[in-house]
Chain A
Amino acid sequence: MSELAKTPLYDEHVALGGKIVPFAGFAMPVQYPAGALKEYHAVRADDGGGLFDISHMGQIRVRGAQALDFLQYVTSNDVARLVDGQVQYAALLNDDGTFIDDITTYRLAEDHYYLCVNAANRHKDVAHLKAQAAHFDVHIEDESERTTLLALQGARAASILAPWVNIDLGAIGYYRFATADIEGRKVMISRTGYTGEDGFELYLPNALAVSCWRALLARGAAPIGLAARDMLRTEMGYALYGHEISDAVTPVEAGLMWITKLDKGAFIGRDAVAARLAQGPRQRLIGLRLTERGIPREHYRVLAEGRPVGSVTSGMFSPLLGTGVALAYVDSEHLAADNLCVEIRNRAIPAERVRPPFVRSRVKKG
């Protein structure tokens, strides 16, 4: 794996016995010796607290007099609705309305924003943003390589983090952020995550990575690998680029029109999305819960009356439900079918359509 990038915490993962796998060009821990199931429960438990190294993700700073106009044009959501200290989920779309990436946008000031992007898409995103920035008074800086990103997730996240920071975490609402001073350095802390639990994401200068990681583990957080992270997000029905969303689907099929504001003015992909919405999508992303034993997996076929009508994008055994759950694209004319099945090893396993999340979200909304 010599060609793989390492996060500043790579040696910590190895020291903890993490099983290292390639992921989006990085050598990342897929699980620690506790195993993916225990790690999953360490986050979902009523007294849960899990710590994730997600430093492979990218961070892009956008500054300039036209930063707002620029982001209104390149992202799908309405950036004008953001106030300082607020975060917004959004898409970067191609002209044809398909996804370049899904991102979060942080507003520091009207002329100053910070984007968090998927690791695998970072270089593509930066090139796209820089090309578009030529038409705006705006400066784009890729800060990914100097930034460590940790996620602390679970019911106990605030109590684990609070003694270690000099700000009132209770004042940070869902999808809001604040800046703390840690060891004399600025750290951005947002009440965001990818698990459906309460929690925070911490943007640190690399110099703080090891001390912060160790401090939060010492306060009782469990280290969590990519396998449990994927279980936690799938159970919430959260999209993952390359699975639910890609440059082959638009927000119409993906059920992400809530982050696509067609009435905000011109933006890249707007006309294509509006046209797709008007004509009706060929497929839609839905949630399925198996009613018999079996685990749906990516690319398994969805059947209606024995005929293929769709395919699974993410699937798992839900430990809380004790059953298989899946996100799947299904042909529009079969969305209302009450006889959907997932084909597992040539057997049609019955499934009921459910609206994700598959288990109750405990994020602190409102």
Chain B
Amino acid sequence: MTIPADLKYTKEHEWVRIDGDTATIGITDHAQEALGDIVFVELPEVGRQLSPGEAFAVVESVKAVSDVYAPVGGEVIEVNNLLESEPEKVNTDAYGEGWIAKVRMNGDTVELLDEATYTTYLEE
């Protein structure tokens, strides 16, 4: 299982890559592994305003339906439409082609963990 050092994490197992005022969001390797084969991703609408902690996307595996929560507040500016045809990218490339949405941040966030803290959190 990989936990890249350049990302931030949530206790709900999302990752966020912050670049200026843009946050790219996905679910962690741990999350995709726990869910199993992802067969469906429901993406948010571009333009939607998110509050931190709000459920904004859904990933469905063969057996389970799971909400994805916004690590940061702000406006959805782009979504990964590739996941509509290839939802398995969430399994095979969770931190890359498996990204879910990009958000223009308004400054509000949930508690974001660094790599070391998330690693410890997973071990607990």
Q: B42 — which chain A residues lie within 8 A by C-beta? A: 345
Number of interface residues, chain A, beta carbon within 8 A: 17
Q: Which of A36, A293, A294 contacts B62 (CB 8 A)?
A: A36
Binds A, one of B33-41, B46-54, B115-123: B33-41
B65 within 8 A of A: yes
Q: Which of B58, B60, B63 contacts A227 (CB 8 A)?
A: B63
Q: Mark A316-342, 1 if CB is under 8 A from B, else 0.
A: 110100000000000000000000000
Q: B37 — which chain A residues lie within 8 A by C-beta? A: 35-38
The chain A residue with its CB closest to the CB of B63 is: A227
Instruction: Looking at the assembled complex, report how far the CB atom of A71 sits from the nearest CB atom of chain B, in whole angstroms.
Output: 36
A36 with B84: CB separation less than 8 A? no
Q: How far is it, in angstroms, between the C-alpha of A316 and the C-alpha of B63 when the chains are bound?
A: 8
Given that A293-B84, A345-B58 are contacting pairs, would A36 and B63 also be in contact in the complex, using a CB cutoff of 8 Å? yes
B44-86 residues at the A interface, CB under 8 angstroms: 58, 60, 62-63, 65, 84
Q: B63 — which chain A residues lie within 8 A by C-beta? A: 30, 36, 227
Instruction: Looking at the assembled complex, report how far the CB atom of B96 sits from the nearest CB atom of chain A, in whole angstroms.
Output: 19
By size class, the interface of chain B is 10 to 19
A217 within 8 A of B: no
Given that A36-B37, A294-B40, A295-B40 are contacting pairs, would A227 and B84 also be in contact in the complex, using a CB cutoff of 8 Å? no
B58 with A317: CB separation less than 8 A? no
A231 within 8 A of B: yes
Instruction: Looking at the assembled complex, report how far the CB atom of B36 sits from the nearest CB atom of chain A, in whole angstroms.
Output: 6
A153 within 8 A of B: no
The chain B residue with its CB closest to the CB of A297 is: B65
The chain A residue with its CB closest to the CB of B65 is: A297
Q: How far is it, in angstroms, between the C-alpha of A345 and the C-alpha of B56 when the chains are bound?
A: 12
B65 with A317: CB separation less than 8 A? no
A317 with B36: CB separation less than 8 A? no
Instruction: Looking at the assembled complex, report how far the CB atom of B61 sits from the nearest CB atom of chain A, in whole angstroms.
Output: 8
A282-320 residues at the B interface, CB under 8 angstroms: 293-295, 297, 316-317, 319
A31 with B36: CB separation less than 8 A? yes
Q: How far is it, in angstroms, between the C-alpha of A280 and the C-alpha of B84 when the chains are bound?
A: 42
The chain A residue with its CB closest to the CB of B55 is: A345
A295 with B36: CB separation less than 8 A? no
Q: How far is it, in angstroms, between the C-alpha of A294 and the C-alpha of B63 when the chains are bound?
A: 14
Q: A36 — which chain B residues lie within 8 A by C-beta? A: 36-37, 62-63
Q: How far is it, in angstroms, between the C-alpha of A227 and the C-alpha of B61 when the chains are bound?
A: 11
Q: B36 — which chain A residues lie within 8 A by C-beta? A: 31, 35-36, 227
Given that A293-B40, A294-B40, A345-B42 are contacting pairs, would A37 and B84 also be in contact in the complex, using a CB cutoff of 8 Å? no
B39 with A295: CB separation less than 8 A? yes
Q: How far is it, in angstroms, between the C-alpha of A36 and the C-alpha of B60 when the chains are bound?
A: 13
B62 with A231: CB separation less than 8 A? yes
Q: How far is it, in angstroms, between the C-alpha of A203 and the C-alpha of B10 when the chains are bound?
A: 49
Q: How far is it, in angstroms, between the C-alpha of A195 and the C-alpha of B40 when the chains are bound?
A: 23
Q: List residues of A whose CB falls within 8 A of some B CB.
A: 30-31, 35-38, 227-228, 231, 293-295, 297, 316-317, 319, 345
A-B contact pairs, 29 of them (CB 8 A): A30-B63, A31-B36, A36-B36, A36-B37, A36-B62, A36-B63, A37-B37, A37-B39, A37-B62, A37-B88, A38-B37, A227-B36, A227-B62, A227-B63, A228-B62, A231-B62, A293-B40, A293-B84, A294-B40, A295-B40, A295-B60, A295-B65, A297-B65, A316-B62, A317-B40, A317-B62, A319-B39, A345-B42, A345-B58
Q: A36-B36, A295-B40 are in contact. List 15 more A-B contacts (CB 8 A).
A: A35-B36, A35-B37, A36-B62, A37-B39, A37-B62, A37-B88, A38-B37, A227-B62, A293-B84, A294-B40, A295-B39, A295-B60, A295-B65, A316-B62, A317-B39
